[in-house]
């Protein structure tokens, strides 16, 4: 069976079918979780984050600009990330870094996602 890519608020989830389209709340918090996790290893700029999300999820998740940048700005206003401008090869880029508050938020989101994923896995495996 072949699955088509499904767009949910500019988040592309490959292989999830139309159920995800009807339940966008399932994806609530995923962009924040993914961005904070990547920034916990090093600072990155927007395009670099988008590419790293695609690569680290094996192309399963792709965040469009309409999701990524508003999420970054919201995380910055909540104190989870800090932004700084840097000129590289004549171009100005905005680099984002996680803050201590962002690390705490990452811990909360990671725990909740593991709990949900574990529940789904238990159901699927019949345990």
Residue 86 parent element (H or E): strand 81-88
Bridge partners of 120, per DSSP, are none
| Cα 115 from Cα 33, distance rounded (Å) | 14
Task: List the chain domain ranges.
Answer: 5-125
| Cα 81 from Cα 18, distance rounded (Å) | 33
| Cα 38 from Cα 49, distance rounded (Å) | 7
| Cα 54 from Cα 77, distance rounded (Å) | 25
For the segment 113-126, what is each residue's pLDDT rounded down to a tens digit?
A: 999 999 999 999 99
For the segment 39-92, what is each residue's pLDDT rounded down to a tens digit?
A: 999 999 999 999 999 999 999 999 999 999 999 999 999 999 999 999 989 999
Let me know: does 62 contact 10? Beta carbons within 8 Å: no
Examine the pLDDT at 17 and tell me if it is beyond 50: no
User: Residue 88: its pLDDT value, please?
Assistant: 87
CATH number of 5-125: 1.10.10.10
Q: pTM of this prediction?
A: 0.79
């Amino acid at each position: 069976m072949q699955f088509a890519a499904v767009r949910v608020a500019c988040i592309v989830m490959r292989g999830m079918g139309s159920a995800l389209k009807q339940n966008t709340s399932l994806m609530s918090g995923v962009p924040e979780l993914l961005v904070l996790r990547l920034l916990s290893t090093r600072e990155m700029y927007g395009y670099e984050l988008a590419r790293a999300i695609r690569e680290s999820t094996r192309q399963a998740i792709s965040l469009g600009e309409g999701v990524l940048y508003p999420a970054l700005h919201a995380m910055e206003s909540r104190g989870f990330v800090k932004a700084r401008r840097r000129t590289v090869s004549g171009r100005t880029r905005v680099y984002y870094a996680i803050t201590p508050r962002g690390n705490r938020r990452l811990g909360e989101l990671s725990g909740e996602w593991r709990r949900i994923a574990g529940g789904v896995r238990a159901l699927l495996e019949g345990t």
